[in-house]
């Protein structure tokens, strides 16, 4: 084993930092330099920050690489560092009880990484680290030896479709924009990721910003643009910081600016910070925001490729779409098209969250069944509970039930079952989730994020939400379900932009697959999942009560009575349904229904 090449890689994505990654990295640096082993391995041992490693549930994740052998440690804390350094780095004996187990390896082995292939492996703040893994090779070849039409042809042959939601063919956008006669054209990277539970674009920029920049250079060359924008949420400070540094470093090496790479091609990129408006993920609202106007969509046509930013032809691609481009140009369109399905080529990055054991960031080939993502990669449902549904596509998507778990994850298949791929959010729900409440949650989000420009979205989402709130309070009426369905269809058909057109999807999909839960709320005034507070009742099970008094002490309303070591009871007229008694009882003697 070659001990002359020792590297420690610490996850320093947002999740890793939140779990203590910065402290762990600092501990490795200090331990190696101050523990008396510097003379032996100090000059040959480097500690590096890397982006998101994917399995966020196991952070802080650390790789110790000695020669060509790598050991990954999970849940690393600063007090674990001295032992890892002494036993593994110095003694060449990995600390096996802290090493990543079967879950970690199953999580990664079943993925197919393109966009994430370098994320988590290289230092995102070091341009030379990206260059060392063939970064900017594709861009250099494109601007020095290829025509714009040749570039478009390769992207078209790859079958790359937009990864931001609608799945529109990327090459078609580029081709149309390239044919427009205009003094200036724009290329915009849409990094305004706003879906609840989604962190794909953020993690890609945090972990490998240069891949996005290189993709933008290639796209700009293909359409004839000399100016680009990255529209990114201000709530992503780490991504913004790393993107700024990446742009500065790229300019310093003549990869951006005037006459890039010694050619006559000029292209530079500016950052535009978004203020957190979800609707600005819609391309015309995003354009309005860059122009300094209120972020509100406009009617289409004309589409941005004809008249976009300041009336000029504009191509808008999302982060993941652009990050795919360098790898396609480097490895060939056939390579990319070999992944996925006939109509949905390549891979897709997803953020899997919710009631799943291995939450995190994954990249899988299009067409993979939902079951494989949730059980083989995600490790199944947390706490051994029963899987109920998975929400894909964020607030614009739908809830897919257990009997459709073998549905392939691609644009066409998810559309058939009433959902969408979207930007890549995937929220897993279990038996403790109420589907009426889930629909209400997403409607609360879309209603509050509506720009208010068109009546169907502004008023329609509000009325939908009012009905759902009434149902979860136990005030549902027999005609509420058909009314929800009718209103949802009208809102989808009449809304101006994609926000309103897709806002009713969670309502329609939960009614379609979980109608019985709506009926229980309306007809029986009962929440089957025991979530909707106004529909709950609490009682004491005589056979289980020990008279310990824990429920009595926890109750804030004085609804629990009883003497020590005797049966306690709950007065329903005083109960505020807070659940404190249920949580306090160690003997499961409090029944919630």
CATH number for position 289: 3.40.50.11540
Split at pLDDT 50, 70, 90, the class of 127 is: very high
**Residues 137, 254: one domain?**
yes
The three-point CA angle 511-517-518 to 5° equals 60
Instruction: Flag whether pLDDT at 3 surpasses 80.
Output: no
Domain ends where: 430, 446, 465? 430
Query: CA–CA separation, 364 vs 409, rounded Å?
Result: 9
Please check whether residue 447 lies inside any domain of the structure. yes
Instruction: Flag whether pLDDT at 12 surpasses 80.
Output: yes
Instruction: Flag whether pLDDT at 570 surpasses 90.
Output: yes
Split at pLDDT 50, 70, 90, the class of 4 is: low
Give the model's pLDDT for residue 80: 97
Name the token pair of 147: 């025509």
Residue 44 is inside which H or E element, if any? none
Residues 436 and 510 sit within 8 Å (Cβ to Cβ): yes
* Per-residue model confidence as pLDDT tens digits over 259-318: 999 999 999 999 999 988 889 989 999 999 999 999 999 989 999 999 999 999 999 999
* Per-residue model confidence as pLDDT tens digits over 399-455: 999 999 999 999 999 999 999 988 888 999 999 999 999 999 999 999 999 999 999
Query: CA–CA separation, 273 vs 290, rounded Å?
Result: 9
Burial class (CB in 10 A: 0-12, 13-18, 19+), 197: middle
CATH number for position 374: 3.10.20.600
Work out the average pLDDT over 27-49: 70
SS3 at position 465: helix
Work out the average pLDDT over 225-240: 95
Between helix 209-223 and helix 237-252 the angle, nearest 10°, is 60
**Residues 160, 287: one domain?**
yes
**Residues 307, 216: one domain?**
yes
Query: CA–CA separation, 68 vs 437, rounded Å?
Result: 51
**Residues 183, 327: one domain?**
yes
Residue range(s) defining the domain that contains residue 501: 435-523
Split at pLDDT 50, 70, 90, the class of 118 is: very high
Instruction: Flag whether pLDDT at 384 surpasses 90.
Output: no
Split at pLDDT 50, 70, 90, the class of 35 is: low
**Residues 231, 326: one domain?**
yes
φ, ψ (nearest 5 deg) of residue 186 = -125, 145
Please check whether residue 324 lies inside any domain of the structure. yes
Tell me what the pLDDT averaged over the chain comes to.
Answer: 93
Query: CA–CA separation, 294 vs 81, rounded Å?
Result: 50
Q: Which residues contact 101 (CB under 8 A, 6 or more apart)?
A: 74
Work out the average pLDDT over 12-41: 82
Work out the average pLDDT over 231-259: 96
Give the model's pLDDT for residue 313: 98
Please check whether residue 342 lies inside any domain of the structure. no
* Per-residue model confidence as pLDDT tens digits over 57-84: 999 999 999 888 899 999 999 999 999 9
**Residues 371, 401: one domain?**
yes
Give the model's pLDDT for residue 106: 92
Residues 191 and 201 sit within 8 Å (Cβ to Cβ): yes
Please check whether residue 529 lies inside any domain of the structure. no
Split at pLDDT 50, 70, 90, the class of 560 is: very high
Domain count, the chain: 5
Give the model's pLDDT for residue 508: 96
Split at pLDDT 50, 70, 90, the class of 43 is: very low
Between helix 209-223 and helix 319-331 the angle, nearest 10°, is 80
Domain ends where: 289, 312, 337? 337
């Amino acid at each position: 084993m070659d001990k002359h090449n020792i590297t420690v890689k610490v996850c320093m994505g947002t999740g890793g930092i939140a779990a203590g990654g910065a402290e762990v990295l600092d501990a490795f640096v200090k331990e190696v330099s101050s523990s008396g082993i510097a003379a032996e391995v100090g000059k040959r041992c480097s500690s590096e920050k890397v982006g998101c490693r994917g399995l966020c549930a196991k952070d802080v994740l650390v790789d110790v690489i000695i020669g060509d052998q790598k050991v990954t440690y999970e849940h690393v804390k600063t007090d674990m560092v001295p032992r890892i350094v002494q036993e593994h780095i110095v003694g060449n004996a990995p600390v096996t009880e802290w090493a990543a187990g079967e879950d970690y390896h199953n999580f990664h082995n079943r993925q197919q990484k393109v966009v994430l292939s370098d994320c988590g492996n290289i230092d995102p703040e070091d341009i030379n680290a990206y260059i060392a893994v063939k970064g900017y090779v594709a861009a250099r070849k494109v601007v020095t030896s290829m025509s714009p039409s040749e570039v478009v042809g390769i992207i078209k042959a790859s079958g790359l479709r937009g990864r931001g939601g609608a799945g529109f063919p990327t090459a078609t956008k580029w081709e149309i924009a390239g044919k427009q006669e205009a003094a200036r054209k724009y290329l915009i990277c849409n990094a305004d990721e706003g879906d609840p539970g989604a962190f794909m674009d953020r993690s890609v920029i945090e972990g490998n910003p240069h891949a996005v920049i290189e993709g933008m250079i290639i796209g700009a060359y293909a359409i004839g643009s000399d100016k680009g924008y990255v529209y990114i949420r201000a709530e992503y400070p780490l991504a913004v910081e790393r993107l700024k540094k990446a742009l500065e470093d790229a300019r310093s090496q003549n990869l951006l600016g005037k006459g890039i790479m010694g050619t006559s091609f000029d292209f530079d990129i500016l950052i535009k910070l978004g203020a957190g408006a979800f609707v600005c993920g819609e391309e015309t609202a995003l354009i309005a925001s860059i122009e300094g106007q209120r972020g509100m969509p406009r009617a289409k046509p004309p589409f941005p490729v004809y008249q976009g930013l300041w009336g000029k032809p504009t191509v808008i691609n999302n982060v993941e779409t652009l990050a795919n481009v360098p790898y396609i140009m480097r490895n060939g369109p056939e390579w990319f098209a070999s992944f996925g399905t006939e109509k949905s080529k390549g891979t897709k990055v997803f953020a899997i969250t919710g009631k799943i054991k291995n939450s995190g960031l994954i990249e899988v080939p299009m067409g993979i069944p939902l079951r494989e993502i949730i059980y083989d990669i995600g490790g199944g449902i947390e706490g051994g509970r029963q899987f109920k549904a998975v929400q894909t596509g964020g607030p614009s998507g739908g809830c897919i039930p257990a009997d459709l778990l073998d549905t392939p994850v691609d644009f066409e298949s998810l559309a058939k079952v009433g959902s969408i791929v979207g930007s890549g959010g995937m929220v897993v729900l279990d038996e403790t989730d109420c589907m009426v409440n889930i629909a209400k949650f997403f409607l609360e989000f879309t209603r509050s994020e509506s720009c208010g420009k068109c009546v169907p979205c502004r008023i329609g989402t509000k009325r939908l939400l009012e009905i759902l709130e009434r149902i979860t309070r136990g005030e549902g009426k027999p005609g509420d379900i058909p009314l929800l369905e009718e209103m949802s269809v009208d809102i989808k058909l009449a809304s101006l932009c994609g926000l309103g057109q897709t806002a009713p999807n969670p309502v329609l999909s939960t009614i379609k697959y979980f109608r019985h839960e709506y009926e229980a709320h309306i007809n029986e005034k009962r929440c089957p999942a025991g979530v909707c507070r106004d529909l709950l009742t609490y009682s004491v099970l005589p056979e289980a009560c020990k008279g310990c008094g824990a429920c009595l002490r926890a109750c804030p309303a004085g609804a629990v009575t009883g003497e020590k070591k005797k049966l306690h009871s709950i007065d329903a007229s005083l109960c505020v349904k807070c659940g404190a008694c249920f949580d306090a009882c160690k003997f499961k003697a409090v029944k919630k229904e």
